[in-house]
Amino acid sequence: MAGQNALPPVVSAEEWDRARDELLTAEKAATRAQDKLGAQRRRLPMVRFGEYTFASTNGAVTLLDLFGDHQQLALYQFMHSGPDHFCPGCTHFTNQVTDLDGLARDGVAWATVSDMPLDQMAGYWKKMGWTVPFASSAGTTFTADTGAGGGFLLNVFVRDGDTVYRTYTTGQRGVDRLLWVNNILDLAPYGRQQDWENSPKGWPQHPTYG
């Protein structure tokens, strides 16, 4: 209920402006650092990636097929957690995958793969109401070859004709920073309210997936 949590201190408008300006200076420095990282990322070399065939509800599809008519592909690997469990983090992430048309306008296709059997994926996609393209990599070495192991990963590929190259990969907090909900919560006074965050005493907190 409102009013039960601790609150930030109340200060004058002048004090608030000074505190906000101090934070803004740090935020601008972080933005410039992100710009430098983006420039470095765009200069990464690429590595040729193998040929893989996945199962989809429309039949067999190759890694190359997932590009469609585009030259670039962002491919999310959804963790396979067993027949009766679905990764809450991957679910949270996939709930926020939207505006694929916007990506496509800039030449980037999007798809999700998982080592889950196709029927399990299809059932979960239907339950969640997701329209994100998906395919099952079960029975292939794709997840192991990307280095995802038993976890989740975002890979970015580019193709030169029919040859596919990997240009970028990120996991853990690298994937986390892409989430719209998390980014908005980071701006809210209580943050994400997760117990790993460095928050003032009395701030509401709970386990990340509690």
Give the CATH number of the domain where residue 158 resides: 3.40.30.10
Do 138 and 79 reside in the same domain of the chain?
A: yes
State how many domains the chain has: 2
Do 84 and 125 reside in the same domain of the chain?
A: yes
| Segments in the chain below pLDDT 50 | 1
Do 94 and 35 reside in the same domain of the chain?
A: no
Do 31 and 57 reside in the same domain of the chain?
A: no
In a domain, 196, yes or no: no
Do 61 and 147 reside in the same domain of the chain?
A: yes
Do 62 and 149 reside in the same domain of the chain?
A: yes
Q: Which residues of 1-11 are buried (b: 16+ CB within 10 A; e: fewer)?
A: eeeeeeeeeee
Domain that holds residue 86: 49-176
Do 102 and 81 reside in the same domain of the chain?
A: yes
Is residue 140 a contact partner of residue 52, using CB atoms and an 8 Å limit? yes
Do 124 and 24 reside in the same domain of the chain?
A: no
> Between the CA atoms of 97, 101, 104 and 109, what dihedral angle is there, to the nearest 10 degrees?
40
In a domain, 78, yes or no: yes
Question: Tell me, what's the pLDDT at 183?
Answer: 86
How confident is the model over 137-156, as pLDDT tens digits? Answer: 999 999 999 999 888 999 99
How confident is the model over 172-198, as pLDDT tens digits? Answer: 888 888 988 888 988 888 888 888 888
Phi, psi of 181 (to 5 degrees): -60, -45
Question: Tell me, what's the pLDDT at 3?
Answer: 54
Task: Give the SS3 label for residue 46.
Answer: coil
Question: Tell me, what's the pLDDT at 160?
Answer: 96
Give the angle subtended at the CA of 121 by the CAs of 126 and 83, to the nearest 5°. 120
Q: Give the sign of the dihedral formed by CA 183, CA 111, CA 109, CA 101.
A: negative
Looking up tokens 């996939």, which residue turns up? 94
- Residue 104: partners with Cβ closer than 8 Å, 6 or more residues away: 70
Do 159 and 73 reside in the same domain of the chain?
A: yes
